[in-house]
Amino acid sequence: MKEKITICWLRRDLRLQDQAALYHALRSGHPVVVLFIFDREILDDLDDRRDRRVEFIHQTVTQLQTALQQHGSDLLVYYDRPLPVWKQLLQQYNIAQVHINHDYEQYAIDRDAAVRTLLESQDIPLYSYKDQCIFDRDEVLSKAGKPYSVFTPYSKAWKAKVNDFYLRSYPTEKYFKQFYQGSFSGVPTLESMNFEALGKPFPAQEIPVATIETYAEKRDYPALEATSRMSIHLRFGTVSIRELARKAQELSPTYLNELIWRDFYFQVLYHFPHINTGHAFRKEYDRIQWRNNEAEFEAWCQGRTGYPLVDAGMRQMNETGFMHNRIRMVTASFLAKHLLIDWRWGEAYFAKKLLDYDFSANNGGWQWAAGSGCDASPYFRVFNPALQAKKFDPKGQYVKKWVPEIDQVDYPDPIVEHETARERAIQTYRRAVKKDSN
Ligand SMILES: Cc1cc2nc3c(=O)[nH]c(=O)nc-3n(C[C@H](O)[C@H](O)[C@H](O)COP(=O)(O)OP(=O)(O)OC[C@H]3O[C@@H](n4cnc5c(N)ncnc54)[C@H](O)[C@@H]3O)c2cc1C
Protein backbone atom coordinates (compact mmCIF):
# COMPACT_ATOMS: atom_id res chain seq x y z
CA MET A 1 0.00 0.00 0.00
CA LYS A 2 1.38 3.42 -0.98
CA GLU A 3 2.04 5.97 1.75
CA LYS A 4 -0.83 8.42 2.28
CA ILE A 5 -0.06 12.01 1.37
CA THR A 6 -1.70 15.41 1.63
CA ILE A 7 -1.55 17.71 -1.38
CA CYS A 8 -1.37 21.50 -1.13
CA TRP A 9 -2.25 22.93 -4.54
CA LEU A 10 -0.81 26.43 -5.12
CA ARG A 11 -2.47 28.81 -7.55
CA ARG A 12 -2.43 32.52 -6.70
CA ASP A 13 -0.74 31.99 -3.33
CA LEU A 14 2.82 31.35 -4.47
CA ARG A 15 4.68 31.39 -1.15
CA LEU A 16 5.57 29.06 1.70
CA GLN A 17 5.32 31.65 4.50
CA ASP A 18 2.06 32.73 6.13
CA GLN A 19 -0.11 30.75 3.75
CA ALA A 20 -3.44 29.39 4.98
CA ALA A 21 -3.84 26.24 2.86
CA LEU A 22 -0.22 25.22 3.34
CA TYR A 23 -0.49 25.69 7.10
CA HIS A 24 -3.51 23.41 7.32
CA ALA A 25 -1.98 20.87 4.96
CA LEU A 26 1.20 20.71 7.04
CA ARG A 27 -0.89 20.01 10.14
CA SER A 28 -2.82 17.17 8.48
CA GLY A 29 -0.50 14.49 9.84
CA HIS A 30 0.53 13.21 6.37
CA PRO A 31 3.60 14.15 4.33
CA VAL A 32 2.73 17.19 2.23
CA VAL A 33 3.30 17.35 -1.51
CA VAL A 34 3.18 20.91 -2.85
CA LEU A 35 1.69 21.04 -6.34
CA PHE A 36 1.64 23.70 -9.06
CA ILE A 37 -0.02 23.37 -12.48
CA PHE A 38 0.90 25.64 -15.40
CA ASP A 39 -2.71 25.70 -16.52
CA ARG A 40 -3.04 25.32 -20.30
CA GLU A 41 -6.65 26.40 -20.07
CA ILE A 42 -5.28 29.88 -19.27
CA LEU A 43 -1.88 29.84 -20.96
CA ASP A 44 -3.10 28.65 -24.37
CA ASP A 45 -5.40 31.69 -24.58
CA LEU A 46 -2.62 34.26 -24.12
CA ASP A 47 -1.75 35.99 -27.42
CA ASP A 48 1.63 37.27 -26.31
CA ARG A 49 4.26 34.55 -26.07
CA ARG A 50 6.43 37.04 -24.16
CA ASP A 51 3.76 37.63 -21.51
CA ARG A 52 5.71 38.80 -18.48
CA ARG A 53 3.13 37.43 -16.05
CA VAL A 54 4.04 33.92 -17.18
CA GLU A 55 7.70 34.82 -16.74
CA PHE A 56 6.95 36.08 -13.20
CA ILE A 57 5.07 32.89 -12.31
CA HIS A 58 7.84 30.75 -13.79
CA GLN A 59 10.50 32.61 -11.81
CA THR A 60 8.51 32.29 -8.61
CA VAL A 61 7.75 28.62 -9.12
CA THR A 62 11.45 27.94 -9.69
CA GLN A 63 12.29 29.76 -6.44
CA LEU A 64 9.66 27.72 -4.60
CA GLN A 65 11.17 24.55 -5.97
CA THR A 66 14.61 25.57 -4.64
CA ALA A 67 13.14 26.44 -1.24
CA LEU A 68 11.36 23.09 -1.00
CA GLN A 69 14.52 21.26 -2.05
CA GLN A 70 16.30 22.88 0.88
CA HIS A 71 13.85 20.98 3.08
CA GLY A 72 14.50 17.67 1.34
CA SER A 73 11.28 18.02 -0.62
CA ASP A 74 10.41 19.25 -4.11
CA LEU A 75 7.66 21.01 -6.04
CA LEU A 76 5.42 18.77 -8.12
CA VAL A 77 4.82 20.67 -11.36
CA TYR A 78 2.63 19.96 -14.38
CA TYR A 79 1.98 21.77 -17.63
CA ASP A 80 -1.52 20.66 -18.55
CA ARG A 81 -5.19 21.24 -17.79
CA PRO A 82 -6.13 20.77 -14.13
CA LEU A 83 -8.69 17.96 -14.47
CA PRO A 84 -6.45 15.53 -16.41
CA VAL A 85 -3.66 16.29 -13.91
CA TRP A 86 -5.92 15.39 -11.01
CA LYS A 87 -7.03 12.18 -12.72
CA GLN A 88 -3.39 11.24 -13.09
CA LEU A 89 -2.58 12.15 -9.48
CA LEU A 90 -5.40 9.93 -8.25
CA GLN A 91 -3.84 6.98 -10.03
CA GLN A 92 -0.30 7.72 -8.93
CA TYR A 93 -0.71 8.67 -5.27
CA ASN A 94 -2.62 7.59 -2.22
CA ILE A 95 -4.15 11.00 -1.48
CA ALA A 96 -5.62 11.53 1.97
CA GLN A 97 -6.63 15.19 1.65
CA VAL A 98 -6.22 18.21 -0.61
CA HIS A 99 -5.85 21.83 0.58
CA ILE A 100 -6.35 24.98 -1.49
CA ASN A 101 -7.07 28.68 -0.93
CA HIS A 102 -10.30 30.28 -2.14
CA ASP A 103 -10.24 31.90 -5.55
CA TYR A 104 -13.15 34.20 -6.36
CA GLU A 105 -12.99 34.43 -10.16
CA GLN A 106 -15.53 32.52 -12.23
CA TYR A 107 -13.08 30.34 -14.11
CA ALA A 108 -11.43 29.33 -10.83
CA ILE A 109 -14.76 28.65 -9.11
CA ASP A 110 -15.78 26.29 -11.94
CA ARG A 111 -12.33 24.65 -11.99
CA ASP A 112 -12.35 24.03 -8.25
CA ALA A 113 -15.92 22.68 -8.35
CA ALA A 114 -14.92 20.15 -11.02
CA VAL A 115 -11.85 19.05 -9.04
CA ARG A 116 -13.92 18.80 -5.86
CA THR A 117 -16.47 16.53 -7.58
CA LEU A 118 -13.67 14.31 -8.87
CA LEU A 119 -11.97 14.06 -5.48
CA GLU A 120 -15.21 13.46 -3.62
CA SER A 121 -16.01 10.59 -5.98
CA GLN A 122 -12.99 8.91 -4.37
CA ASP A 123 -13.91 10.09 -0.85
CA ILE A 124 -11.03 12.56 -0.73
CA PRO A 125 -11.86 15.83 1.03
CA LEU A 126 -10.91 19.16 -0.58
CA TYR A 127 -10.44 21.89 2.05
CA SER A 128 -10.48 25.52 0.96
CA TYR A 129 -9.44 28.62 2.98
CA LYS A 130 -9.49 32.38 2.84
CA ASP A 131 -5.95 33.59 2.17
CA GLN A 132 -5.79 36.41 -0.35
CA CYS A 133 -7.80 38.99 1.58
CA ILE A 134 -8.49 39.95 5.17
CA PHE A 135 -12.29 39.62 4.90
CA ASP A 136 -14.26 37.91 2.19
CA ARG A 137 -17.74 36.68 1.29
CA ASP A 138 -20.19 37.45 4.14
CA GLU A 139 -17.65 38.56 6.74
CA VAL A 140 -18.40 42.26 6.42
CA LEU A 141 -22.12 42.91 6.01
CA SER A 142 -24.32 45.87 6.90
CA LYS A 143 -26.41 45.82 10.10
CA ALA A 144 -29.30 44.61 7.95
CA GLY A 145 -27.17 41.65 6.88
CA LYS A 146 -26.76 42.97 3.32
CA PRO A 147 -23.55 43.24 1.30
CA TYR A 148 -22.14 46.72 0.96
CA SER A 149 -22.02 48.37 -2.42
CA VAL A 150 -20.61 51.68 -1.20
CA PHE A 151 -17.01 51.82 -0.10
CA THR A 152 -17.05 54.24 2.87
CA PRO A 153 -19.52 52.32 5.08
CA TYR A 154 -17.83 49.07 4.02
CA SER A 155 -14.43 50.37 5.08
CA LYS A 156 -15.84 51.58 8.42
CA ALA A 157 -17.33 48.17 9.11
CA TRP A 158 -14.07 46.52 7.95
CA LYS A 159 -12.03 48.63 10.39
CA ALA A 160 -14.48 47.98 13.23
CA LYS A 161 -14.18 44.24 12.72
CA VAL A 162 -10.45 43.83 12.15
CA ASN A 163 -8.32 42.68 15.07
CA ASP A 164 -5.15 40.69 15.75
CA PHE A 165 -6.91 37.44 15.03
CA TYR A 166 -7.54 38.37 11.39
CA LEU A 167 -4.09 39.83 10.86
CA ARG A 168 -2.10 37.05 12.50
CA SER A 169 0.30 35.12 10.26
CA TYR A 170 0.01 31.38 9.75
CA PRO A 171 3.27 30.01 11.23
CA THR A 172 3.92 27.50 8.46
CA GLU A 173 7.68 27.36 9.26
CA LYS A 174 6.97 25.43 12.47
CA TYR A 175 5.75 22.49 10.40
CA PHE A 176 8.20 22.42 7.47
CA LYS A 177 9.44 18.99 8.59
CA GLN A 178 6.09 17.69 7.33
CA PHE A 179 7.04 18.26 3.68
CA TYR A 180 7.11 15.05 1.62
CA GLN A 181 10.73 13.87 1.30
CA GLY A 182 11.71 13.06 -2.28
CA SER A 183 12.03 14.59 -5.70
CA PHE A 184 9.89 15.08 -8.78
CA SER A 185 10.64 15.75 -12.42
CA GLY A 186 11.36 19.52 -12.23
CA VAL A 187 9.91 22.75 -13.55
CA PRO A 188 9.33 22.83 -17.33
CA THR A 189 11.25 25.58 -19.12
CA LEU A 190 9.38 28.59 -20.44
CA GLU A 191 10.48 27.64 -23.96
CA SER A 192 8.98 24.16 -23.62
CA MET A 193 5.67 25.90 -22.90
CA ASN A 194 6.21 28.13 -25.92
CA PHE A 195 6.92 31.30 -23.92
CA GLU A 196 9.94 33.54 -23.87
CA ALA A 197 11.55 35.54 -21.05
CA LEU A 198 12.31 39.24 -21.48
CA GLY A 199 14.54 39.34 -18.42
CA LYS A 200 13.39 42.77 -17.22
CA PRO A 201 13.15 43.21 -13.44
CA PHE A 202 9.88 42.95 -11.51
CA PRO A 203 8.90 45.21 -8.59
CA ALA A 204 10.70 44.34 -5.34
CA GLN A 205 8.89 42.24 -2.76
CA GLU A 206 9.97 44.49 0.11
CA ILE A 207 8.52 47.99 0.49
CA PRO A 208 10.77 50.57 2.13
CA VAL A 209 9.11 51.84 5.35
CA ALA A 210 9.54 55.40 4.01
CA THR A 211 7.31 54.58 1.02
CA ILE A 212 4.42 53.69 3.29
CA GLU A 213 5.11 56.59 5.65
CA THR A 214 4.96 59.15 2.83
CA TYR A 215 2.28 57.33 0.86
CA ALA A 216 -0.62 59.64 1.75
CA GLU A 217 1.28 62.71 0.69
CA LYS A 218 2.89 61.42 -2.50
CA ARG A 219 0.76 58.64 -3.92
CA ASP A 220 -1.15 60.77 -6.42
CA TYR A 221 1.91 62.03 -8.29
CA PRO A 222 2.88 59.54 -11.00
CA ALA A 223 6.34 61.03 -11.59
CA LEU A 224 7.36 60.30 -7.99
CA GLU A 225 6.93 56.52 -8.23
CA ALA A 226 5.84 56.71 -4.59
CA THR A 227 3.33 53.85 -4.43
CA SER A 228 4.18 50.42 -3.09
CA ARG A 229 4.16 48.39 -6.36
CA MET A 230 2.79 45.47 -4.35
CA SER A 231 0.03 44.74 -6.86
CA ILE A 232 1.81 41.98 -8.79
CA HIS A 233 2.81 40.35 -5.50
CA LEU A 234 -0.72 40.52 -4.16
CA ARG A 235 -2.01 39.16 -7.46
CA PHE A 236 0.13 36.05 -7.34
CA GLY A 237 0.39 35.74 -3.56
CA THR A 238 4.14 36.25 -3.34
CA VAL A 239 3.45 38.50 -0.34
CA SER A 240 0.97 37.96 2.46
CA ILE A 241 -1.93 40.39 2.72
CA ARG A 242 -1.90 39.94 6.51
CA GLU A 243 1.70 41.06 6.78
CA LEU A 244 1.01 44.04 4.54
CA ALA A 245 -2.15 45.04 6.41
CA ARG A 246 -0.26 44.94 9.73
CA LYS A 247 2.38 47.27 8.30
CA ALA A 248 -0.31 49.56 6.93
CA GLN A 249 -2.13 49.65 10.27
CA GLU A 250 1.06 50.72 11.95
CA LEU A 251 2.32 53.21 9.38
CA SER A 252 -0.39 54.64 7.16
CA PRO A 253 -4.20 54.69 7.38
CA THR A 254 -4.30 55.84 3.74
CA TYR A 255 -2.35 52.80 2.60
CA LEU A 256 -4.62 50.55 4.68
CA ASN A 257 -7.59 52.11 2.92
CA GLU A 258 -6.22 51.04 -0.46
CA LEU A 259 -5.86 47.47 0.77
CA ILE A 260 -9.48 47.67 1.93
CA TRP A 261 -10.54 48.70 -1.60
CA ARG A 262 -9.06 45.42 -2.73
CA ASP A 263 -11.17 43.43 -0.24
CA PHE A 264 -14.18 45.56 -1.18
CA TYR A 265 -13.96 44.59 -4.85
CA PHE A 266 -13.50 40.90 -4.00
CA GLN A 267 -16.72 40.93 -1.99
CA VAL A 268 -18.53 42.89 -4.72
CA LEU A 269 -17.59 40.13 -7.15
CA TYR A 270 -18.79 37.47 -4.72
CA HIS A 271 -22.15 39.10 -4.00
CA PHE A 272 -22.94 40.53 -7.44
CA PRO A 273 -21.83 37.80 -9.84
CA HIS A 274 -23.59 39.45 -12.81
CA ILE A 275 -20.43 41.58 -13.19
CA ASN A 276 -18.62 38.35 -14.02
CA THR A 277 -20.64 37.97 -17.19
CA GLY A 278 -19.86 41.32 -18.78
CA HIS A 279 -22.74 43.28 -17.25
CA ALA A 280 -22.62 46.73 -15.75
CA PHE A 281 -23.11 46.71 -12.00
CA ARG A 282 -26.03 49.12 -12.56
CA LYS A 283 -28.00 47.64 -15.36
CA GLU A 284 -29.26 50.94 -16.84
CA TYR A 285 -25.67 51.65 -17.92
CA ASP A 286 -25.88 48.73 -20.33
CA ARG A 287 -28.21 50.93 -22.42
CA ILE A 288 -25.51 53.48 -23.28
CA GLN A 289 -25.18 53.98 -27.02
CA TRP A 290 -21.41 53.59 -27.37
CA ARG A 291 -19.73 55.07 -30.42
CA ASN A 292 -17.10 52.31 -30.49
CA ASN A 293 -14.92 53.94 -33.13
CA GLU A 294 -12.15 51.42 -33.85
CA ALA A 295 -9.58 53.95 -35.09
CA GLU A 296 -10.04 56.00 -31.93
CA PHE A 297 -9.72 52.87 -29.82
CA GLU A 298 -6.47 52.05 -31.58
CA ALA A 299 -5.15 55.57 -30.95
CA TRP A 300 -6.02 55.21 -27.26
CA CYS A 301 -4.29 51.79 -27.06
CA GLN A 302 -1.15 53.17 -28.71
CA GLY A 303 -1.04 56.35 -26.63
CA ARG A 304 -1.70 58.65 -29.63
CA THR A 305 -4.81 60.56 -28.55
CA GLY A 306 -3.10 63.96 -28.42
CA TYR A 307 -3.89 64.16 -24.68
CA PRO A 308 -0.41 63.90 -23.13
CA LEU A 309 -1.43 62.48 -19.74
CA VAL A 310 -3.62 59.80 -21.36
CA ASP A 311 -0.89 58.94 -23.86
CA ALA A 312 1.78 58.79 -21.14
CA GLY A 313 -0.30 56.32 -19.13
CA MET A 314 -1.03 54.06 -22.08
CA ARG A 315 2.62 54.03 -23.13
CA GLN A 316 3.77 53.34 -19.56
CA MET A 317 1.47 50.32 -19.46
CA ASN A 318 2.39 49.09 -22.96
CA GLU A 319 6.07 49.35 -22.11
CA THR A 320 6.20 48.16 -18.49
CA GLY A 321 2.92 46.37 -17.66
CA PHE A 322 2.25 48.97 -14.96
CA MET A 323 0.22 52.16 -14.88
CA HIS A 324 -0.10 54.53 -11.95
CA ASN A 325 -3.53 54.42 -10.25
CA ARG A 326 -4.50 58.04 -10.95
CA ILE A 327 -3.57 57.62 -14.58
CA ARG A 328 -5.61 54.39 -14.77
CA MET A 329 -8.59 56.52 -13.69
CA VAL A 330 -7.81 59.23 -16.27
CA THR A 331 -7.23 56.86 -19.21
CA ALA A 332 -10.30 54.76 -18.36
CA SER A 333 -12.53 57.78 -17.98
CA PHE A 334 -11.19 59.19 -21.26
CA LEU A 335 -12.10 56.02 -23.15
CA ALA A 336 -15.56 55.60 -21.68
CA LYS A 337 -16.55 59.27 -21.63
CA HIS A 338 -14.49 61.36 -24.07
CA LEU A 339 -14.46 58.67 -26.74
CA LEU A 340 -17.68 56.91 -25.72
CA ILE A 341 -16.10 53.53 -26.29
CA ASP A 342 -17.56 50.63 -24.33
CA TRP A 343 -15.55 50.36 -21.10
CA ARG A 344 -15.41 46.57 -21.64
CA TRP A 345 -13.01 47.14 -24.57
CA GLY A 346 -10.69 49.01 -22.23
CA GLU A 347 -11.14 46.46 -19.47
CA ALA A 348 -10.07 43.71 -21.88
CA TYR A 349 -7.07 45.74 -23.08
CA PHE A 350 -5.89 46.34 -19.51
CA ALA A 351 -6.39 42.61 -18.81
CA LYS A 352 -3.91 41.81 -21.58
CA LYS A 353 -1.32 44.39 -20.56
CA LEU A 354 -1.28 44.77 -16.77
CA LEU A 355 1.18 42.65 -14.82
CA ASP A 356 -1.13 42.99 -11.82
CA TYR A 357 -4.30 42.20 -13.79
CA ASP A 358 -6.93 41.01 -11.39
CA PHE A 359 -10.53 40.64 -12.50
CA SER A 360 -12.17 42.17 -9.42
CA ALA A 361 -9.96 45.27 -9.10
CA ASN A 362 -9.83 45.84 -12.86
CA ASN A 363 -13.56 45.47 -13.36
CA GLY A 364 -14.15 47.59 -10.25
CA GLY A 365 -11.79 50.30 -11.52
CA TRP A 366 -13.32 50.34 -15.00
CA GLN A 367 -16.90 50.45 -13.79
CA TRP A 368 -15.93 53.19 -11.34
CA ALA A 369 -14.47 55.28 -14.16
CA ALA A 370 -17.31 54.54 -16.57
CA GLY A 371 -19.88 55.47 -13.94
CA SER A 372 -21.64 52.09 -14.10
CA GLY A 373 -20.07 50.59 -10.98
CA CYS A 374 -21.27 50.18 -7.44
CA ASP A 375 -19.59 53.16 -5.79
CA ALA A 376 -18.81 54.87 -9.05
CA SER A 377 -17.84 58.31 -10.13
CA PRO A 378 -21.16 59.99 -11.23
CA TYR A 379 -21.74 60.01 -14.98
CA PHE A 380 -21.69 63.79 -15.20
CA ARG A 381 -18.22 63.95 -13.65
CA VAL A 382 -15.87 63.91 -16.62
CA PHE A 383 -12.19 64.13 -15.80
CA ASN A 384 -10.42 66.93 -17.64
CA PRO A 385 -7.07 65.32 -18.62
CA ALA A 386 -5.36 68.73 -18.96
CA LEU A 387 -6.42 69.79 -15.45
CA GLN A 388 -5.43 66.39 -14.06
CA ALA A 389 -1.99 66.86 -15.60
CA LYS A 390 -1.67 70.35 -14.14
CA LYS A 391 -2.57 69.10 -10.69
CA PHE A 392 -0.76 65.79 -10.51
CA ASP A 393 2.13 66.24 -12.94
CA PRO A 394 2.74 69.96 -12.46
CA LYS A 395 6.27 69.93 -13.87
CA GLY A 396 5.30 67.60 -16.71
CA GLN A 397 7.96 65.07 -15.69
CA TYR A 398 5.74 62.01 -16.05
CA VAL A 399 4.45 63.14 -19.43
CA LYS A 400 7.96 64.00 -20.69
CA LYS A 401 9.22 60.57 -19.69
CA TRP A 402 6.61 58.70 -21.70
CA VAL A 403 5.80 61.20 -24.45
CA PRO A 404 9.19 62.72 -25.26
CA GLU A 405 7.99 64.09 -28.61
CA ILE A 406 5.25 66.16 -26.98
CA ASP A 407 6.52 69.48 -28.35
CA GLN A 408 7.29 68.17 -31.82
CA VAL A 409 5.18 68.42 -34.95
CA ASP A 410 4.55 64.70 -35.23
CA TYR A 411 2.73 64.58 -31.87
CA PRO A 412 -0.96 64.26 -32.79
CA ASP A 413 -3.56 66.96 -32.25
CA PRO A 414 -6.22 66.09 -29.65
CA ILE A 415 -8.48 63.37 -31.04
CA VAL A 416 -11.53 65.15 -29.59
CA GLU A 417 -12.09 68.60 -28.16
CA HIS A 418 -12.57 68.36 -24.39
CA GLU A 419 -15.70 70.48 -23.93
CA THR A 420 -17.47 68.95 -26.94
CA ALA A 421 -16.61 65.43 -25.79
CA ARG A 422 -17.69 66.18 -22.23
CA GLU A 423 -21.07 67.52 -23.35
CA ARG A 424 -21.58 64.56 -25.72
CA ALA A 425 -20.77 62.09 -22.93
CA ILE A 426 -23.15 63.69 -20.45
CA GLN A 427 -26.01 63.76 -23.00
CA THR A 428 -25.43 60.13 -24.04
CA TYR A 429 -25.17 58.87 -20.48
CA ARG A 430 -28.20 60.90 -19.43
CA ARG A 431 -30.34 59.38 -22.20
CA ALA A 432 -29.43 55.85 -21.03
CA VAL A 433 -29.81 56.45 -17.34
CA LYS A 434 -32.96 58.56 -17.57
CA LYS A 435 -34.96 55.82 -19.32
CA ASP A 436 -34.96 54.03 -15.98
CA SER A 437 -37.13 56.62 -14.35
CA ASN A 438 -39.77 56.50 -17.16
C1 LIG B 1 -9.31 51.28 -14.47
C2 LIG B 1 -8.55 50.64 -13.34
C3 LIG B 1 -8.09 49.35 -13.47
C4 LIG B 1 -7.39 48.73 -12.41
N5 LIG B 1 -6.97 47.44 -12.57
C6 LIG B 1 -6.34 46.82 -11.54
C7 LIG B 1 -5.93 45.47 -11.67
O8 LIG B 1 -6.16 44.80 -12.68
N9 LIG B 1 -5.24 44.92 -10.62
C10 LIG B 1 -4.99 45.62 -9.46
O11 LIG B 1 -4.37 45.06 -8.54
N12 LIG B 1 -5.40 46.89 -9.31
C13 LIG B 1 -6.06 47.51 -10.32
N14 LIG B 1 -6.45 48.82 -10.17
C15 LIG B 1 -6.25 49.49 -8.87
C16 LIG B 1 -4.93 50.27 -8.72
O17 LIG B 1 -4.74 51.12 -9.81
C18 LIG B 1 -3.71 49.35 -8.58
O19 LIG B 1 -3.94 48.40 -7.57
C20 LIG B 1 -2.47 50.15 -8.19
O21 LIG B 1 -2.22 51.16 -9.13
C22 LIG B 1 -1.26 49.20 -8.12
O23 LIG B 1 -0.10 49.90 -7.80
P24 LIG B 1 0.59 49.78 -6.37
O25 LIG B 1 0.74 48.34 -6.01
O26 LIG B 1 1.78 50.64 -6.37
O27 LIG B 1 -0.57 50.38 -5.47
P28 LIG B 1 -0.56 51.10 -4.06
O29 LIG B 1 -1.14 52.45 -4.28
O30 LIG B 1 0.74 51.00 -3.39
O31 LIG B 1 -1.68 50.28 -3.25
C32 LIG B 1 -1.37 49.09 -2.52
C33 LIG B 1 -2.26 47.97 -2.96
O34 LIG B 1 -3.62 48.27 -2.65
C35 LIG B 1 -4.48 47.68 -3.64
N36 LIG B 1 -5.22 48.75 -4.31
C37 LIG B 1 -4.85 50.02 -4.45
N38 LIG B 1 -5.80 50.73 -5.08
C39 LIG B 1 -6.78 49.87 -5.36
C40 LIG B 1 -8.05 49.99 -6.00
N41 LIG B 1 -8.51 51.15 -6.48
N42 LIG B 1 -8.79 48.87 -6.15
C43 LIG B 1 -8.38 47.68 -5.66
N44 LIG B 1 -7.19 47.51 -5.03
C45 LIG B 1 -6.42 48.59 -4.88
C46 LIG B 1 -3.57 46.98 -4.64
O47 LIG B 1 -3.51 45.62 -4.30
C48 LIG B 1 -2.23 47.68 -4.43
O49 LIG B 1 -1.13 46.88 -4.78
C50 LIG B 1 -7.17 49.45 -11.21
C51 LIG B 1 -7.64 50.76 -11.10
C52 LIG B 1 -8.32 51.36 -12.15
C53 LIG B 1 -8.80 52.78 -11.99
CATH number at residue 379: 1.10.579.10
**Is position 366 annotated as part of the catalytic site?**
yes
Determine the residue type at 330: V
Ligand 1 in reach of 335 Cβ (< 6 A): no
Mutate to test the pocket of ligand 1, among 105, 260, 325, 354 (most ligand atoms within 8 A of CB): 325
Whether residues 109 and 236 fall in one domain: no
Cβ distance 169 to 240 under 8 Å? yes
Query: Does residue 175 have a pLDDT over 60?
Result: yes
**Is position 318 annotated as part of the catalytic site?**
no
Q: Which of 248, 271, 294 is the last residue in one of the domains?
A: 271
For ligand 1, atom 51, name the residue with the nearest CA. 365
- Atom index in ligand 1 nearest the CA of residue 356 equals 9
Whether residues 304 and 424 fall in one domain: yes
Mean pLDDT score across all residues of the chain: 97
Q: What are the C-alpha distances in Å from 111 to residues 11, 53, 82, 94, 201?
A: 12, 20, 8, 22, 32
* pLDDT of res. 143: 95
Check the CA dihedral 416-420-423-427 and report its sign.
negative
In a domain, 196, yes or no: no
Question: What does the alpha-carbon distance between residue 268 and residue 233 come to, in Å, rounded to a whole number?
Answer: 22
Whether residues 147 and 109 fall in one domain: no
In a domain, 98, yes or no: yes
Ligand 1 in reach of 422 Cβ (< 6 A): no
Whether residues 426 and 288 fall in one domain: yes
Q: Count CA within 13 A, CB hemisphere, residue 49.
A: 7
Task: Report the binding-site residues.
Answer: 215, 227-231, 255, 258-265, 356-358
Question: What does the alpha-carbon distance between residue 337 and residue 423 come to, in Å, rounded to a whole number?
Answer: 10
In a domain, 77, yes or no: yes
**Is position 325 annotated as part of the catalytic site?**
yes
Whether residues 287 and 419 fall in one domain: yes
**CATH (domain of 77):** 3.40.50.620
Q: Which of 104, 131, 158 is the last residue in one of the domains?
A: 131
Q: If DSSP states are collapsed to H, E and C, what string results for 117-131?
A: HHHHCCCCCEEEECC
Q: What are the C-alpha distances in Å from 310 to residues 40, 162, 314, 342?
A: 35, 38, 6, 17
Ligand 1 in reach of 370 Cβ (< 6 A): no
pLDDT tens readout for residues 331-357: 999 999 999 999 999 999 999 999 999
Q: Which of 113, 131, 149 is the last residue in one of the domains?
A: 131
Question: How does strand 75-80 pair with strand 94-101?
Answer: unpaired
Whether residues 249 and 320 fall in one domain: no
pLDDT tens readout for residues 314-338: 999 999 999 999 999 999 999 999 9
In a domain, 337, yes or no: yes
How far, in Å, is the centroid of ligand 1 from the Cα of 437? 34
Ligand 1 in reach of 219 Cβ (< 6 A): yes
pLDDT band at 436 (very low <50, low <70, confident <90, very high): low
Question: What does the alpha-carbon distance between residue 369 and residue 343 come to, in Å, rounded to a whole number?
Answer: 9
Number of domains in the chain: 3
Query: How far does Cα 437 stand from its chain's mean position?
Result: 35
Q: Which domain holds residue 421?
A: 275-433
**CATH (domain of 255):** 1.25.40.80
- Atom index in ligand 1 nearest the CA of residue 331 equals 1
Whether residues 125 and 216 fall in one domain: no
Ligand 1 in reach of 258 Cβ (< 6 A): yes
pLDDT band at 375 (very low <50, low <70, confident <90, very high): confident
Whether residues 320 and 226 fall in one domain: no
- Atom index in ligand 1 nearest the CA of residue 228 equals 30
Question: What does the alpha-carbon distance between residue 286 and residue 284 come to, in Å, rounded to a whole number?
Answer: 5
In a domain, 76, yes or no: yes
Helix (H) or strand (E) holding 157: helix 151-161
In a domain, 24, yes or no: yes
Ligand 1 in reach of 131 Cβ (< 6 A): no
Task: Report the binding-site residues for FAD.
Answer: 215, 227-231, 255, 258-265, 356-358
Whether residues 119 and 219 fall in one domain: no
Determine the residue type at 358: D
Q: Count CA within 13 A, CB hemisphere, residue 418.
A: 12
Question: How does strand 94-101 pair with strand 4-10?
Answer: parallel
**Is position 158 annotated as part of the catalytic site?**
no
In percent, the amount of the chain with pLDDT more than 70 equals: 99
Q: If DSSP states are collapsed to H, E and C, what string results for 232-301?
A: HHHHHCCCCHHHHHHHHHHHCHHHHHHHHHHHHHHHHHHHCHHHHHCCCCCHHHHHCCCCCCHHHHHHHH
Mutate to test the pocket of ligand 1, among 255, 258, 375, 377 (most ligand atoms within 8 A of CB): 258
pLDDT tens readout for residues 388-412: 999 999 999 999 999 999 999 999 9
What ipTM score was computed for the predicted complex, to two decimals? 0.99
Whether residues 419 and 356 fall in one domain: yes
For ligand 1, atom 43, name the residue with the nearest CA. 262
pLDDT band at 378 (very low <50, low <70, confident <90, very high): confident
* pLDDT of res. 438: 45
How far, in Å, is the centroid of ligand 1 from the Cα of 54? 20
For ligand 1, atom 6, name the residue with the nearest CA. 362
Question: What does the alpha-carbon distance between residue 180 and residue 182 come to, in Å, rounded to a whole number?
Answer: 6
Whether residues 312 and 238 fall in one domain: no
In a domain, 172, yes or no: no
- Atom index in ligand 1 nearest the CA of residue 235 equals 11
In a domain, 185, yes or no: no
Ligand 1 in reach of 425 Cβ (< 6 A): no
Whether residues 73 and 18 fall in one domain: yes
Helices (H) and strands (E) in the chain, counts: 20, 5
